[in-house]
Chain A
Amino acid sequence: MNQITSLARVFAYLSLLTIGGGMAAFPEMKFLTVEVHRWLTLPQLVHLYSVGQMAPGPNMMMIVSIGEWAGGFLGALVTVIAFFGPTALLTFAVARLRKRLEKWRWRPSIQQGLAPVSIGLLLAGSFTMARAAITGLETAMIAVGVLLILLRYKINPALLVVGSAIVGIFSFALN
């Protein structure tokens, strides 16, 4: 039961940090799930996050796997509610107040001010991830390759993730 309350607390807190995208919360997610609570190891967290990019729907559904590992079915359920509940309520409140917020003079200031911070958080998240995922020349080339292809061509990123898995398996077979 202790695990369940920890899951609820950790994921409710993480959800409020996901400004700009789920990756913004990644450094904190690593700290809390790997170092503080030891629900999984860093390679496992990186793997689950990455596999989650191949799944359809919102790209952070890998939190379900963490919840299940730490607390079974109930853990998974609590994790999802904790991770999506608080931000859903906040967004719902904003939707209800939209008419009033449209004229609020601070609104553009908040949007403009938070944009660079949220991009910075995504970048910091990707550095945390890269430190664990980029282990040598081969993985560096995959990451740069995926980045350049996505910037140049309109291609479904999930296909590139699947392609990179095949590259990883091939290079293992060849060694």
Chain B
Amino acid sequence: MSNPEANPLPQVADATAPGVGASTWDIFVEFLITGATSFGGPVPYLRTALVDKRHWIDDKQFVEMLSISQSLPGLNATNLAILVGEKLRGIWGSIAAILGICLPGGVLMYIVGIIYRQHGDHAWITAGLKGVAAAAVGLILSTVVELSKKSLAGKFDFIFMAMTVIAVSRLHQSVARTLIAVGILAILFHWPACAQKTNATQ
């Protein structure tokens, strides 16, 4: 594209631009593949599939969409599916993407649920599940540590985090009430007019 006038068919060149040429079916298939193969969390797999393999979005867009996904309710993987699908093909793109990413794991857990209900009380299975549950605790704690390193800044963020934990785990307040109460407090603390002032004092 260095010399656009020399190109007799600019619309052909456009087909290689990010996102152009992705049909609803392509979107469904790509997210279905990711949904079926993304063991250990779909986000890195989605980056590979969407940025490196398909070139539907670039790395910067991916990071931007991920940060939006993280600050909205919903799982990162499904929020990303909605955002990428919408960018590529509007509402049908979103529907294709979320169906694709949820279908394999959903079918699998449907079957696993039935098997577990029938055989979950076997001594060997219980022993294995004991290890699995303990590992899941370590896994969530590692997510907490990674997120804290990335997005907590200043002692007030740690105070808001501690308030949330105390409200839910110690005072047994509902997650919804805690989210609204501490959330509003933390948002007001960071409110636009104050933002510069707090940056200056930190």
Contact of B71 among A115, A130, A159, A172 (CB under 8 A): A115
Q: Mark A89-133, 1 if CB is under 8 A from B, else 0.
A: 011101110100000011011111111111111111111111011
Determine whether the beta carbon of B169 is less than 8 Å from that of A128.
yes
Q: Which of A53, A65, A94, A105 contacts B139 (CB 8 A)?
A: A53
* Closest residue of B by beta carbon distance from A84: B78
Which residues of A lie under 8 Å from residue B190 when comparing CB positions?
108-109, 112-113
Task: Please give, as numbers and ranges, the residues of chain A lying within 8 Å of B168 by CB-CB distance.
Answer: 27, 120-121, 124
Check if B20 is an interface residue, CB within 8 A of chain A: no
Residues of A within 8 A of B148 (CB): 119
Establish whether residues B116 and A65, one from each chain, have CB atoms under 8 Å apart when the complex forms: yes
Report the minimum CB–CB distance from A165 to chain B (whole Å).
Answer: 4
Contacting pair B35 A161 (CB below 8 A): no
Interface of A, helix, strand, loop or mixed by DSSP: helix
B178 cross-chain contacts in A, Cβ below 8 A = 117, 121
Contact B116 A64 (CB under 8 A): no
Contact B73 A90, beta carbon cutoff 8 Å: yes
A143: Cβ under 8 A from any B Cβ: yes
**Interfacial residues of chain B within 66-117, with CB under 8 A of chain A in the complex:** 67-79, 82-83, 86-87, 91, 94, 98, 101-106, 108-110, 112-114, 116-117
Verify if A7 is at the interface (C-beta below 8 Å from B). no
Instruction: Count B interface residues, CB 8 Å.
Output: 96
Closest to B160 in A: A116
Q: Is B36 positioned at the interface, with any CB of A under 8 Å from its CB?
A: yes
Distance (whole angstroms) from the CB of B201 to the closest CB of chain A = 15
B35 adjacent to A57 (CB under 8 Å): yes
A169 to B145, CA, bound (A): 29
Determine whether B25 belongs to the interface, using a CB cutoff of 8 Å to chain A: no
Considering the complex, give the chain A residue whose CB is closest to the CB of B191. A109
A115-B152 in contact (CB<8A): yes
Tell me the complex Cα distance, A46–B126, Å.
12
B9 → chain A, closest Cβ, in Å? 31
- What secondary structure prevails in chain B residues at the interface with A? helix
Query: A156 interface residue, CB < 8 Å from B?
Result: yes
Residue picked from B40, B109, B188, most chain A C-beta under 10 Å: B109
- The contact string, 1 if C-beta is below 8 Å from chain B, for chain A 39-76, is 00000101111111111111111111110110000001
Contact between B74 and A168, CB atoms less than 8 A apart: no
Q: Does B157 contact A (CB under 8 A)?
A: yes
Residue of A with least CB distance to B135: A164
Q: Does A1 contact B (CB under 8 A)?
A: no
Q: Is the CB of B187 within 8 A of A56?
A: no
Residues of B40-87 whose CB lies within 8 A of A: 40-42, 67-79, 82-83, 86-87
B12 contacts partner chain A, Cβ-Cβ < 8 Å? no
Q: Name the distance in Å between A50's Cβ and chain B's nearest Cβ.
A: 4
Q: Does B10 contact A (CB under 8 A)?
A: no
Instruction: Evaluate contact between A61 and B108: CB separation under 8 angstroms.
Output: yes
Q: Mark B165-177, 1 if CB is under 8 A from A, else 0.
A: 1011100001110
CB within 8 Å for A50 and B42 given contacts A23-B140, A55-B112, A61-B109? no
**Residue A19 CB within 8 A of the other chain:** yes
